[in-house]
């Protein structure tokens, strides 16, 4: 527990005090956010606000992860519970960093070209596909060398734990891994459009996964006393440490990203966070719980899908503008009201998700 708390506070501090340096640096480099001309008129005033702020909380999370492991070294070693760096950490931080790198390329092209185009859709999806497939392979094909021998990911579909009767095979599991990573990264990216919206929602989801992973650590398979309700998850403390660090880093960033935003996370941050959140669901074996915990991301993504299908089939738009947050902007809601109310929706999803997770625990032990 100490390592998770220390990592969260270290990440928070680095992000809180490092973001102003990034604001100055990106302003000096003229790395301002281009604004779409067909978007809400109120957004035109945001033109030139520094972007690519996701660089700060990605680096803060990685540094905090290292510090958290230094704390782990002070704890007596328990057989079967590694204190060193693990493949689970490589997969999760790899998703955060390399999905962020795909987003960084997109942001860089936007800034360089001085328009909102960036990477084309094929290029972005290809980058996401390569990152997802590589880390999916690592997650499914390399079991741990300690008991119980488990892989980072699972070849079974899962809700709160593995469902052995839904065997996807390893190849199918890698395909699912890629799908989840692409879906969550795009979901967070679509949610990022108002000051602090995606950051605040991500903090809630990351905190939820830190709680889930730490609970799994406290009831980890391998100890006779907990065999009735244990979780067959690889390196759950590692998962909790990374989720806690990322939540702390985003919390520090939110100080500068809340309305009126001094800096945007950009695709760098949105794709990185989305990749990490998808990875957390896969490593904690809560894939089908993810749409509930990440309820806001699902709603906003569905608004875009509905808009596209409706326009292509009937020529009519369901919403004034998609994603959904822009519909309410055009309906006259203030940006702050939309963000707060959408945060409430995100919080409801997280509360329901954690409730279902704990209800399963009660069902097993009862």
Closest C-alpha among 332, 279, 277 to residue 301: 277
CA distances from 318 to 40, 323, 324, 330 (A): 17, 11, 10, 13
Q: How far is CA 285 from the centre of its chain?
A: 15
- Within the chain, residue ranges assigned H as helices are 2-28, 54-72, 87-113, 121-141, 169-191, 197-218, 236-257, 266-283, 290-293, 295-314, 324-330, 335-365
On the question of pLDDT at 236 being above 50, the answer is: yes
Quote the CA–CA distance of 187 and 346 in Å, as a whole number: 13
- At residue 1, the pLDDT reads 79
Closest C-alpha among 336, 258, 262, 349 to residue 300: 349
Quote the CA–CA distance of 286 and 361 in Å, as a whole number: 13
Entry pTM: 0.94
Quote the CA–CA distance of 166 and 269 in Å, as a whole number: 34
- At residue 39, the pLDDT reads 64
Q: Give the tens place of pLDDT for each residue, 94-108.
A: 999 999 999 999 999
- Name the token pair of 35: 């604004």
Quote the CA–CA distance of 289 and 357 in Å, as a whole number: 8
pLDDT band, residue 224 (cuts 50/70/90): very low
- At residue 200, the pLDDT reads 97
Q: Give the tens place of pLDDT for each residue, 40-75.
A: 766 766 777 898 999 999 999 999 999 998 887 776
- At residue 71, the pLDDT reads 84
On the question of pLDDT at 232 being above 90, the answer is: no
Residue pair 353/293 in contact by the 8 Å Cβ criterion: yes
On the question of pLDDT at 225 being above 50, the answer is: no
Q: What is the mean pLDDT of residues 159-165?
A: 91
pLDDT band, residue 84 (cuts 50/70/90): confident
Quote the CA–CA distance of 277 and 290 in Å, as a whole number: 9
Q: What is the mean pLDDT of residues 136-160?
A: 88
Residue pair 134/142 in contact by the 8 Å Cβ criterion: no
Q: Give the tens place of pLDDT for each residue, 330-352.
A: 999 999 999 999 999 999 999 99
Q: What is the mean pLDDT of residues 236-243?
A: 95
- Name the token pair of 193: 């459009």
Question: Helix or strand or coil: residue 286?
Answer: coil
Backbone phi and psi for residue 161, each to the nearest 5 degrees, phi listed first: -155, 175
């Amino acid at each position: 527990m100490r390592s998770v708390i220390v990592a969260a506070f270290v990440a928070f501090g680095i992000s809180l005090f490092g973001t102003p340096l990034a604001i100055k640096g990106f302003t000096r480099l003229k790395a301002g956010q281009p604004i779409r001309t067909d978007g809400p008129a109120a957004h035109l005033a945001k033109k030139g606000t520094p972007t690519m702020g996701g660089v700060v909380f990605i680096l803060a999370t990685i540094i905090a992860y290292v510090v958290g492991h230094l704390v782990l070294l002070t704890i007596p070693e328990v057989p079967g519970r590694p204190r060193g760096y693990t493949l689970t950490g490589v997969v999760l931080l790899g998703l955060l960093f390399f999905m962020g790198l795909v987003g960084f390329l997109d942001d860089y092209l936007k800034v360089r070209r001085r328009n909102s185009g960036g990477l084309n859709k094929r290029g972005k999806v290809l980058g996401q596909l390569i990152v997802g497939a590589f880390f999916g392979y690592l997650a499914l094909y390399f079991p741990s060398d300690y008991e119980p021998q488990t892989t980072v990911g699972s070849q079974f579909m899962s809700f709160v734990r593995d469902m052995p009767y839904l065997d996807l095979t390893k190849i199918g599991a890698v395909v699912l891994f890629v799908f989840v990573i692409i879906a969550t990264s795009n979901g967070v990216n679509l949610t990022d459009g108002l000051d602090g919206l995606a950051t605040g929602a991500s903090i809630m989801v990351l905190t939820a996964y830190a709680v889930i992973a730490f609970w799994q650590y406290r009831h980890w398979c391998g100890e006779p006393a907990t065999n009735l309700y244990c979780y067959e998850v690889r390196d759950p403390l590692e998962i909790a440490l990374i989720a806690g660090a990322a939540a702390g880093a985003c919390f520090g960033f939110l100080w500068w990203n809340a309305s009126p935003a001094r800096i945007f996370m950009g695709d760098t941050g949105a794709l990185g966070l989305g990749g990490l959140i998808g990875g957390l669901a896969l490593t904690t074996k809560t894939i089908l719980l993810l749409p509930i915990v990440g309820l806001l991301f699902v709603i906003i993504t569905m608004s875009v899908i509905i808009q596209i299908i409706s326009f292509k089939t009937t020529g009519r738009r369901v919403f004034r503008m998609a994603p959904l947050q822009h519909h309410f902007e055009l309906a006259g809601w203030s940006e702050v009201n939309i963000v707060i109310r959408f945060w409430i929706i995100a919080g409801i999803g997280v509360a329901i998700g954690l409730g279902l997770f704990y209800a399963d625990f009660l069902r097993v032990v009862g």
